[in-house]
Amino acid sequence: MARPRVLSGIQPTADSFHLGNYLGAVRQWVTLQETHDAFYCVVDLHAITVPTEPAALRRRSRVAAAQLFAAGLDAERSTVFVQSHVREHTELAWILICLTGMGEAGRMTQFKDKSAKFGESAASVGLFTYPILQAADILLYQANAVPVGADQKQHLELTRDLGQRFNHRFGDTFTLPEPYILKEVEKITDLQDPTAKMSKSSSSPAGILDVLEQPGPLRKKIMRAVTDTGTEVLFDEENKPGISNLLRIQSALTATPIPELVARYEGQGYGTFKKDVAEAVLETFAPIRERTEKLLSDEKELDRLLAVGAERAATVARQTMAAVRDRVGFLPTL
């Protein structure tokens, strides 16, 4: 039996992944490559839905790819590639755009949130069609499952709807993917505002832990993380969101159940606990940072790895698109 296929994407919009990206996505992608036929893409086409400097995009695309390999994705086992290298993404997106109702696209809550920042009329049409491009990413590879955070659920529903609509109208072409919602326990919040998600776009620098950051600043941020009144290390999301977040981080990084951690730190106060959290973060990040730096120091080799991924991805994408073109009624090219 063939392994089930997964596909996921991550945007190259920052100079480093943060702890939320790592625990919420990247680390689980690494695990999934053991059991699945895994396709992971750096979604640069999605990144340009908001204004982006070319030099920054180029740098961040390489940094993102390097971090994926450094975190443990294996170029042999997984297909790691850059979205824009496979032209079929934009081609399928156009066809799906033509199958999407204005009202249907207008209901996407992430567009509403993201466009609120510039005002809806200043947002690009690309940002509006973002979820349709995402649907193309997924359907192109006939993915069975899509490992994403809970915030992507609506986009996956749209993907299924569009796939189903195409199949219904033009004949069975696409596999309808199941969401594979990544574990909620690993929801990581802002160190300075522990009720808000750790996020590149909304967290302050002090609230975010970057994978590529140096040990000194990382340690400092954890020691200065907002904690709650009281002195006991207890898991209580409501009254102790700061400590609960640190417990979740420590638990995820050291594979220790939270109750065991709570027992371990009984009577020890926040200081000792935070020091240990910092050590766990450094132990995880330091080797990834070192491997990322090494990969980035040889751009040619990194670009070669990405070319291999792109070729593997394109083999699948071309096959899907040949069927799509024919079913839609486009003339063959001779």
Among 42, 47, 145, 146, binds ligand TRP (CB under 6 A): 146
**CB 162, CB 132: distance < 8 Å:** yes
**What is the footprint of ligand TRP within residues 120-139 (CB under 6 A)?**
134, 137-138
Q: What residues does 82 pair with on adjacent strands?
A: 42
Judge whether 220 counts as a catalytic residue. Answer: no
User: Is 250 near ligand TRP (CB under 6 A)?
Assistant: no
Phi, psi of 191 (to 5 degrees): -65, -25
- Give least dist CB 8 to ligand TRP, A: 4
Selected range binding ligand TRP among 62-70, 146-154, 220-228, 245-253, rule: CB under 6 A: 146-154
Return the sign of the alpha-carbon dihedral for residues 105, 18, 27, 312. positive
Alpha carbon distances (Å) from 7 to 26, 87, 154, 208: 12, 17, 16, 26
Q: Which of 138, 167, 111, 121 is nearest to 40 (CA)?
A: 138
Q: Which two tokens stand for residue 225?
A: 């993380």
User: Is 221 near ligand TRP (CB under 6 A)?
Assistant: no
Select 261 or 314, whichever has its Cβ closest to ligand TRP.
314
Residue 211 DSSP code: T
The residue from 112, 153, 183, 197 that is catalytic is: 197
Select 93 or 262, whichever has its Cβ closest to ligand TRP.
93
Q: Which of 248, 221, 252 is nearest to 233 (CA)?
A: 248
Judge whether 117 counts as a catalytic residue. Answer: no
- Give least dist CB 14 to ligand TRP, A: 12
SS3 call for 92: helix
Select 182 or 247, whichever has its Cβ closest to ligand TRP.
182
Judge whether 200 counts as a catalytic residue. Answer: yes
User: Is 43 near ligand TRP (CB under 6 A)?
Assistant: yes
SS3 call for 64: helix
The site map against ligand TRP for 282-301 (x = CB under 6 A) is --------------------
Distance of CA 84 to the CA centre of its chain: 17
The site map against ligand TRP for 3-42 (x = CB under 6 A) is ----xxx-x-------------------------------
Select 46 or 62, whichever has its Cβ closest to ligand TRP.
46
Rounded CA gap, 289 and 305, in Å? 18
Select 198 or 277, whichever has its Cβ closest to ligand TRP.
198
Q: Which residue is closest to ligand TRP by CB? A: 9
**CB 92, CB 321: distance < 8 Å:** yes
Please give the biggest Cα pair distance in the chain: 77
Select 137 or 190, whichever has its Cβ closest to ligand TRP.
137
Active site residues: 114, 197, 200
| Interface residues toward ligand TRP, by CB under 6 A | 7-9, 11, 43, 46, 134, 137-138, 146, 148, 152
